[in-house]
Amino acid sequence: MQPIRIDDPSDPRIAGYMNIRERDLAGRQGRFIAEGKVVLNVLFGARRFEPESVLLLENRFAGMADTLSLAPADLPVYVASSEVLDAIAGFHMHRGVLAIGRKRPADTVEALLDALPPRALLAVLVGISNHDNMGAIFRNAAAFGADAVLLDETCCDPLYRKAIRVSVGAALKVPFAIGAGAGMLLESLAARGFEQIALSPSGASEITDLARADRLALYLGTEGEGLPGTLLNRLKTVRIAMAEGFDSLNVAAASAIALHHFSDKVCPAG
């Protein structure tokens, strides 16, 4: 693989990397920025995404040989000096390992659910708007073997640069689909025999008292407001016991505890 040297920050071949900090917030027609060696390894092995190009700090090229050997042989790999790379990205890139990925056509919620095995663990995210939390939840989903993540349309994008980075690539690994609203997700899951449980500080039972259904969907809501009451009324609710006088747990921390508890390792098939 021969690197292609970029000396002009306005070179059209690297236009997709221009000012990535601001552009992350806008739509990018199915494209996303992947960052760091570990994430690129996941991208090159992902079924649902394909790499479009790579942009490296020139002194990182040699150390990336193993990672790049996983990529298609005709993938363009651009290299640039630190000054040029910073001018392209719009801020100081101390790691200097970037790629642009492209989504293949996304699965619908129904198609994703229909492809699941008889025993499956899902996270269902409602209104998760913070990219750190989104990335951390995907990382926990991968760590504890969740089969997929469903999102309502008020969630932020798991393919935002920071969410992918915080997920350590898990956002490219764990299948996900976006439904119109939580009510529609609930109907689709009910039709396929999922037990549906919502995590809530006021949940009716303790999570550690619960056995795992073969098909289980775990709802997680926003930290401030939690899941809407209309949704909680239609779901079985569970809580994570906390110390007196403190009922505040970050949603990513809650997802770690709950997905760990319901993982096959802790709650194996009966």
Applying CB under 8 A, among 111, 190, 204, 241 the residue interacting with a second copy is 241
Pick 75 or 257: Cβ nearer a second copy: 257
Applying CB under 8 A, among 125, 136, 148, 198 the residue interacting with a second copy is 136
List, in order, residues 6 or more apart from 209 with CB less than 8 Å away: none
User: Angle CA(262)–CA(268)–CA(270) in degrees, nearest 5?
Assistant: 120
Name the one range near a second copy by CB under 8 A: 23-31, 91-99, 191-199, 260-268: 260-268
Per CB under 8 A, 15 contacts a second copy: no
- Classified as helix, coil or strand, 83 is helix
Bin 48: left if φ > 0, else alpha if -120 < ψ < 50, else beta: alpha
Q: Contact 100/51 with Cβ under 8 angstroms? A: yes
Pick 69 or 250: Cβ nearer a second copy: 250
Applying CB under 8 A, among 26, 211, 243, 269 the residue interacting with a second copy is 243
Pick 80 or 122: Cβ nearer a second copy: 122
Name the one range near a second copy by CB under 8 A: 10-18, 26-34, 77-85, 234-242: 234-242
Name the one range near a second copy by CB under 8 A: 20-28, 68-76, 150-158, 243-251: 243-251
CB of 139 to a second copy, least distance (A): 6
Applying CB under 8 A, among 1, 75, 87, 253 the residue interacting with a second copy is 253
Applying CB under 8 A, among 140, 188, 222, 237 the residue interacting with a second copy is 140
Q: How far apart, in whole angstroms, are the C-alpha atoms of residue 212 and residue 263?
A: 8
Per CB under 8 A, 164 contacts a second copy: no
Reported for 18-26, long-range contacts at CB under 8 A and 24+ positions apart, including other chains, are: 18/88, 18/89, 18/90, 19/89, 19/90, 20/89, 20/90, 20/98, 20/161, 21/89, 21/90, 21/91, 22/90, 24/160, 24/161, 24/162, 25/160
Q: Contact 267/195 with Cβ under 8 angstroms? A: no
Q: How far apart, in whole angstroms, are the C-alpha atoms of residue 226 and residue 4?
A: 49
- What does the per-residue mask of binding to a second copy show for 190-229, with x meaning CB under 8 A? ----------------x-x---------------------
What is the token pair recorded at 100? 């642009």
CB count in 10 Å sphere of residue 130:
18
CB of 66 to a second copy, least distance (A): 17
Interface residues with a second copy (CB under 8 A) are 132, 136, 139-140, 142-145, 168, 170, 206, 208, 240-244, 246-250, 252-254, 256-257, 260, 263-266
